[in-house]
């Protein structure tokens, strides 16, 4: 089931909370938020684009958040809150209407195991069966879920949450306000070997793994530690599920990596870079600030700042799209070309 609904709001209160204006009945009561086609008579819904205007016609919602331009869109639901950005308004309302995840208790669960010299701020929560290694430190406001394994000398900044079943290898440095979903592994050995004496000899990985502040990492994603230096994820970067970041990679601030992305060793990713789903980036490259790489692309060259690249091997997206279009037309062109060439005896 969805998160529990915690309260109800009069539409006038909704408008006040989001800085909007009521059109219709300000006393109508909403208890949850839903999309136009699924909303019931106690739901607030939202209309931010005329593309979805038709859905308002039949929506059963109690009220609708709507832009000034769309306030007169026809629809059964006559109670409206006019607001510049309905989607952002909805996000602001969610924590008012639904129960947000909160720490179940303060302190350390009796089944948690805490190593020698570890320091755990009293205003933090360590759930059942979690292991905190010797010398580790957990700052104020943290919520360390169940079944985590936190290695020796790990530091976790204030207000960070590990949802559960997360592994932080020894020495990992986690900033404040991070959120790691279940199954995240941070600081695993990088994939480095030298072939000698008939075998792949392992390169010991003594580098660190630094996750700066406000980083989210999705379920079952993996971030390797550096070989002799650090793997770094910059502040405010958000990483989706099943993403791989290899050793020595340095990721800037405010990046977005969608699910299935893989980044090979020692690559530098700038600030504000967006990697769409299943993108792969080769090792020892530089991806400039604010670059965008489109889905499933394979990047084998440096990408300049601000550019959108795609395809395999990745090129500026415009060129790649022209290539796709050309390939689409190719079979017919080949037919015509062969006919032509057949008439040219020596071509």
Q: Catalytic residue positions? A: 247
- The CB density around residue 60, as the number of other CB atoms within 10 Å, is 16
Backbone angles phi, psi at 40, to 5 degrees: -110, -175
Nearest distance in Å: CB 343, its own copies: 8
Nearest distance in Å: CB 60, its own copies: 15
Query: Is 27 or 107 the residue whose CB approaches its own copies more closely?
Result: 107
Which of 245, 229, 240 minimizes the C-alpha distance to 186?
245
Backbone angles phi, psi at 70, to 5 degrees: -105, 10
Nearest distance in Å: CB 326, its own copies: 4
| Residues forming beta bridges with residue 82, ordered by sequence position | 21, 66
Nearest distance in Å: CB 276, its own copies: 9
CA distance 182 to 309: 32
Q: What is the DSSP string of 51-105?
A: GGHHHHHH---SEEEE-GGGTT---S---EEE-S-HHHHHHHHHHHHBPPP--S-
Q: Quick one: tokens of 197?
A: 């004496």
Query: Is 75 or 260 the residue whose CB approaches its own copies more closely?
Result: 260
Query: Is 193 or 306 the residue whose CB approaches its own copies more closely?
Result: 193
Query: Is 2 or 74 the residue whose CB approaches its own copies more closely?
Result: 2
Query: Is 159 or 224 the residue whose CB approaches its own copies more closely?
Result: 224
CA distance 118 to 136: 5
Nearest distance in Å: CB 22, its own copies: 22
Q: Quick one: tokens of 4?
A: 């529990």
- The CB density around residue 74, as the number of other CB atoms within 10 Å, is 9
Asked if residues 243 and 221 have their Cβ atoms less than 8 Å apart, the reply is yes
Which of 289, 233, 235 minimizes the C-alpha distance to 261?
233
Nearest distance in Å: CB 68, its own copies: 19
CB-hemisphere CA count at 13 Å for 188?
A: 15
Query: Is 28 or 46 the residue whose CB approaches its own copies more closely?
Result: 46
DSSP state of 5: B
């Amino acid at each position: 089931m969805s998160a529990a609904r915690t309260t109800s709001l009069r539409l006038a209160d909704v408008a006040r909370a989001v800085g909007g204006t009521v059109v219709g009945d300000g006393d109508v009561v909403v208890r949850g938020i839903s999309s136009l086609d699924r909303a019931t008579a106690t739901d607030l819904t939202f209309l931010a684009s005329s593309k979805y205007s038709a859905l308002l016609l039949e929506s059963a919602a109690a009220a609708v958040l709507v832009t000034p331009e769309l306030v007169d869109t026809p629809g059964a639901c006559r109670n409206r809150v006019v607001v510049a950005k309905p989607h952002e308004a909805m996000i602001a309302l969610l924590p008012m209407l639904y129960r947000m995840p909160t720490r179940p208790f303060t302190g350390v669960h009796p089944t948690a195991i805490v190593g020698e010299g570890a320091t755990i701020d009293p205003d933090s929560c360590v759930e059942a069966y979690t292991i905190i290694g010797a010398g580790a430190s957990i700052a104020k406001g943290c919520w360390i879920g169940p079944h985590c394994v936190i290695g020796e000398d790990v530091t976790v900044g204030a207000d960070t949450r590990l949802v559960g079943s997360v592994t932080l290898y020894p020495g990992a440095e986690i900033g404040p306000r991070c959120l790691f979903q279940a199954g995240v592994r941070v600081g695993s050995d990088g994939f480095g070997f030298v072939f000698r004496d008939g075998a792949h000899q392992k390169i010991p990985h003594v580098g660190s793994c630094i996750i700066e502040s406000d980083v989210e990492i999705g379920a079952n994603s993996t971030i390797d530690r550096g070989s002799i230096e650090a793997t770094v994820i910059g502040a405010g970067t958000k990483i989706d599920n099943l993403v791989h970041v290899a050793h020595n990679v340095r990721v800037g601030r405010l990046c977005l990596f969608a699910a299935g992305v893989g980044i090979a060793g020692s690559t530098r990713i700038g600030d504000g870079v967006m990697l769409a789903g299943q993108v792969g980036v080769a090792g020892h490259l530089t991806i400039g600030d604010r670059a965008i790489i489109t889905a499933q692309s394979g990047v084998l060259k440096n990408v300049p700042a601000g550019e959108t690249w795609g395809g395999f091997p990745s090129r500026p997206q415009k060129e790649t799209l022209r290539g796709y279009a050309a390939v689409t037309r190719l079979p017919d062109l080949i037919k015509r070309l062969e006919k032509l060439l057949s008439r040219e005896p020596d071509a």
